[in-house]
């Protein structure tokens, strides 16, 4: 049940603040990064205000705002936050602040356009976490493609950056088709239950859809459509191939955002499982299988990589498989562990890619063979360098931010084989990142020549 909206529309204000990108085009060119950082800091203050004002004792959505958008189709501008989405607002803004700071000296061409696109991307990303209308959610979901495409194609660091931008866009557009069909089937299924004429009985309101679930026989197709749509962006094997290409060819800032913000996994928890609960229960084996395959595939391939960026991309695929495995448990313990992992991704996976971008900016390469003695070369103490990677080595079972029980705990995963595979993936993750540590923190050794 949604709480009454507050007098001050904090969420709408939060979503509209990145429109401060307009100031970037009014003030001098050198002020672009300062305006972007100032706007992001104001967003962080608003997000913290929402978080601190959230009443943990009240169930349901709070700070709800609802306005007519397309009333003839029962489509509304409706936003709000619950105990899950409210956590992602300040963390998302914090990651964008890190991206802006990391780009402070590295972006020298078209800075106005670069920081404007970052602010627009921040706004629509926050909208994904707040949308309570399926069409509004889909609009925010698809609007992320425009700034990401230009950020990759114009400021990518690889020779095939335009190919990476096109591949990412095509994958996301293809994933959006089943997502839209799933939302439409939900709306028409609700209308069929009401027995009245169209379009007055169409339902795109997330809260109404939760209150009136479809019959179990109708949920299978909807669940599969939503699963495919969200799996592309999660990403899950075998729909993951855009991720390594993007991390190698795109800018480190976008790689940090793509690995730190697992919007696809959030969509699974927010829409796929609650709106088709019976189908999710019947097909939990499919979710668990996709998660286990992703865990093993990502860990094994990451172990064989010789480039730090590609290694972290496959490591991210492995870890998000663990999140999906936690969701597949369909119990409170597993879903809580999956959420904690998603929160950790924002800080740890995103932070790792920002550190990687710093290495590439200073050294000119992220190949492990070129990273010997990198710590002294970037003027970073060894102890501080490991502040971000060490929690990822410890993941997924003992991250500092992840109190037990976690999604890897023995009671949350119903299959013995899955438990063993999760533990093996942890060991492979440790081996992978210790290998990186040896390459970066050890002194550079000149090859022996006779």
pLDDT tens string 377-405: 555 544 444 445 545 544 444 443 333 33
Query: Per-residue pLDDT for 248 more than 80?
Result: yes
> Can you give the pLDDT at residue 2?
52
Q: pTM value?
A: 0.83
Q: Residue 370's pLDDT is what? A: 63
How much of the chain exceeds pLDDT 70, in percent? Answer: 78
State mean pLDDT over 128-143: 93
What confidence tens digit (pLDDT) does each residue in 149-206 have? 999 999 888 888 899 999 999 999 999 999 999 999 988 887 777 666 676 678 888 9
70: left (phi over 0), alpha (psi -120 to 50) or beta: beta
Report the 10 Å Cβ neighbour count for 170: 12
Task: Give mean pLDDT, residues 125-132.
Answer: 93
Contact indicator for 19, 78 with CB cutoff of 8 Å = no
Q: Which residues pair with 76 in a beta bridge?
A: 68
Q: What is the mean pLDDT of residues 320-336?
A: 87
**Could you tell me the two tokens for 97?**
């602040």
Distance (Å, whole) CA 32 – CA 34: 6
Identify which of 116, 159, 127, 133 has the alpha carbon closest to the alpha carbon of residue 23: 116
SS3 content of the chain, % helix, strand, coil (to 5): 70, 5, 25
What pLDDT shows up at residue 402?
A: 35
Q: Is the pLDDT of residue 272 over 70?
A: yes
SS3 67: strand
Residue 143: pLDDT band with limits 50, 70, 90: very high
pLDDT, tens digit, for every residue of 213-236? Answer: 888 888 889 999 999 999 999 889
How far is it, in rounded angstroms, from Cα 347 to Cα 354?
A: 10
Provide, rounded to the nearest whole percent, the portion of the chain with pLDDT above 90: 27
Residue 123 pLDDT class (50, 70, 90 cuts): very high
pLDDT at 423 exceeding the cut of 80 = no
How long is the chain? Answer: 450
Mean pLDDT value across residues 352-358: 81
In angstroms, the CA 257 to CA 401 distance is 19
Distances 251 to 357, 367, 384, 428 between C-alpha atoms, Å: 8, 16, 24, 27
pLDDT at position 267: 92
Q: Could you report the per-residue pLDDT of 12-44, keeping only the tens digit for each?
A: 889 987 777 778 888 777 788 888 898 999 999
Residue with tokens 């990589």: 305
Q: With bands split at pLDDT 50, 70 and 90, how would you rate the model's confidence at 415?
A: low
Q: Average pLDDT over the chain, rounded to whole? A: 80
**Does residue 101 surpass a pLDDT of 70?**
yes
Does residue 96 register a pLDDT over 80?
A: yes
Q: What gap in Å lies between CA 126 and CA 123, rounded to an integer?
A: 5
pLDDT at 434 over 60: no
């Amino acid at each position: 049940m949604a709480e009454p909206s507050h007098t001050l529309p904090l969420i709408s204000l939060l979503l509209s603040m990145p429109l401060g990108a307009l100031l970037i085009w009014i003030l001098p060119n050198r002020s672009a990064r300062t305006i972007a950082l100032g706007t992001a800091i104001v967003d962080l203050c608003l997000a913290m205000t929402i978080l601190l004002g959230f009443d943990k004792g009240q169930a349901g959505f709070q700070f709800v705002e609802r306005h007519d958008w397309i009333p003839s189709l029962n489509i509304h501008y409706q936003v709000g936050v619950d105990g899950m989405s409210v956590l992602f607002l300040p963390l998302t803004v914090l990651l964008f602040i890190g991206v802006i700071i990391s780009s402070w000296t590295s972006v020298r061409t078209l800075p106005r356009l670069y920081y404007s696109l970052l602010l627009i991307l921040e706004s629509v990303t926050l909208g994904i976490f707040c949308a309570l209308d399926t069409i509004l959610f889909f609009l925010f979901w698809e609007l992320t493609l425009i700034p990401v495409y230009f950020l990759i194609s114009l400021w990518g660091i690889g020779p095939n950056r335009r190919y990476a931008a096109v591949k990412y866009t095509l994958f996301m557009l293809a994933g959006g088709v089943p997502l839209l069909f799933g939302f439409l089937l939900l709306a028409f299924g609700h209308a069929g239950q009401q027995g009245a004429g169209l379009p007055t009985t169409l339902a795109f309101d997330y809260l109404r859809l939760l209150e009136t679930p479809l019959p179990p026989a109708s949920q299978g197709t909807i669940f599969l459509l939503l699963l495919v749509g969200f799996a592309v962006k999660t990403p899950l094997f075998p729909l993951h191939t855009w991720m390594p290409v993007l991390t190698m060819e795109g800018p480190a800032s976008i790689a940090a955002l793509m690995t730190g913000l697992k919007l696809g996994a959030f969509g699974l928890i927010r829409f796929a499982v609650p709106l088709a609960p019976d189908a999710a229960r019947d097909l939990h084996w499919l979710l668990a299988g996709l998660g286990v395959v992703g865990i093993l595939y990502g860990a094994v391939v990451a172990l064989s990589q010789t480039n730090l960026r590609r290694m972290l991309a496959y490591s991210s695929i492995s870890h998000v498989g663990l999140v999906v495995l936690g969701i597949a448990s369909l119990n409170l313990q597993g879903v809580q562990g999956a959420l904690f992992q998603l929160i950790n991704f924002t800080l740890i996976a995103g932070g790792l890619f920002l550190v990687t971008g710093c290495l590439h900016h200073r050294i000119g390469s992220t190949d492990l063979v070129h990273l010997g003695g990198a710590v002294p070369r970037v003027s970073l103490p060894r102890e501080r360098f490991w502040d971000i990677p060490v929690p990822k080595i410890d993941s997924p079972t003992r991250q500092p931010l992840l109190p037990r029980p976690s999604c890897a705990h023995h009671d949350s995963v119903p299959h013995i084989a899955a438990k063993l595979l999760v533990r093996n993936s942890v060991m492979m993750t440790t081996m992978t990142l210790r290998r990186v540590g040896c390459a970066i923190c050890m002194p550079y050794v000149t090859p022996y020549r006779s």
